[in-house]
Structure 1
Amino acid sequence: MTGHRSLRATLTALPLAGILGLALALPAGAEPPGIPDPATAKSELTKLTVAPEGSMDGYSREKFPHWIEGPDGCNTREAVLKRDGKDVETGSDCYPTSGSWLSPYDGETWTKPSDLDIDHVVPLAAAWRSGAAEWTQDQRQAFANDLEGPQLIAVTDNVNQSKGDQTPDEWMPPLASYHCTYASMWVGTKSKYGLTVTDAEKSALQKTLDGC
């Protein structure tokens, strides 16, 4: 880590203008492709089917084969680390040997890939409960390795672990300034894959997007 552990306290103490200035001074964080703007996300949210969460019966992470090898010989995790980092250098095995990563969930910067998880924005278990239980294995693999939508992002490992498989009515990133982007990514992913939302989940997403 390279010294942003006190960022949240700093942000709390700063007026809005100071926060904006600090944000401009920080290195760019992860930016997955295909993130809808908040207005588009609000429109997409109205079109999602509202339904109670399904059962976890039969769920296993193995039913979502992930970190598969791409055509360049690098796996999905390695591809996201290279995409989301700054000045990333990799060895012949695709694993990063240097670089830095700003986790947008909490504003922390890391220089060791081992300090990062690749978050499935819509967790695999949450997807299972909202429609993926009915998918084929190939469909679940595509979802778990999606490099073309806003479903994968490199973030601080313990923040990702605290999220678990919770939905936005239960968990949002610690950094409040990222809530609009996170809600937009969540809706964009659920819209792309035709997944359902619960009443509570939709309400939380609507409230967040209304404040963007």
Structure 2
Amino acid sequence: MFTGIVEERGTIVAREDLAEAARFTVRGPLVTSDAKFGDSIAVNGVCLTVVELDDGAFTVDVMAETLRRSSLSDAQSGAAVNLERAMPAGGRFGGHIVQGHVDGVGTVVSIAPSENWTVIRIALPQTLRRYVVEKGSITVDGVSLTVSSVGVDDGRDWFEISLIPTTLSETTLGSLSDGDIVNLETDVIAKYVERIAGPHAANSAEGK
């Protein structure tokens, strides 16, 4: 489990494409300082398992399902990525519950900077819109954020996040441009509530 509090910006130093998979080597001196074989590290919000460690870098294998659902399918050597180690059991819970299981990708629609914050609007898949609510939590490229607004334009669902200068400078979100693809993980609690309440809602609709 993670909390969406990015610890450092790492760099993909190598990518090897395999049969229905890919192997990435990522430089991250902080997250590898105490890492061991088999540990979990979130890379742009994707929970991945360390299979090799070498002088401040770690290697992970990414299966086809993960590539299909996330922006890692297009990630190349030299790209900056957000990194976070799994939260220790006795650690401070700084963000929200983040599993590192990306639900899908969104597209940056607009970026509106101001003196003290920047508002980024992101279009999201229609299948995820019911889990995204104003003032709720969402993970964008591994960063725990609060949804500041939601809406629909021309049949396209979107949400907005308001970022302070520290978030912009300490994560990859400060380098986003219109049209960029980002990984999205919605609040897992909403999905569990929907699963549990679904049968009761259906029975009520049928008058049972």
User: What TM-score do you get using the length of structure 2 for normalisation?
Assistant: 0.26
The structure richer in helix per residue is 1
Larger RCO (CA within 8 A; separation ≥ 6) = 1
User: What TM-score do you get using the length of structure 1 for normalisation?
Assistant: 0.26
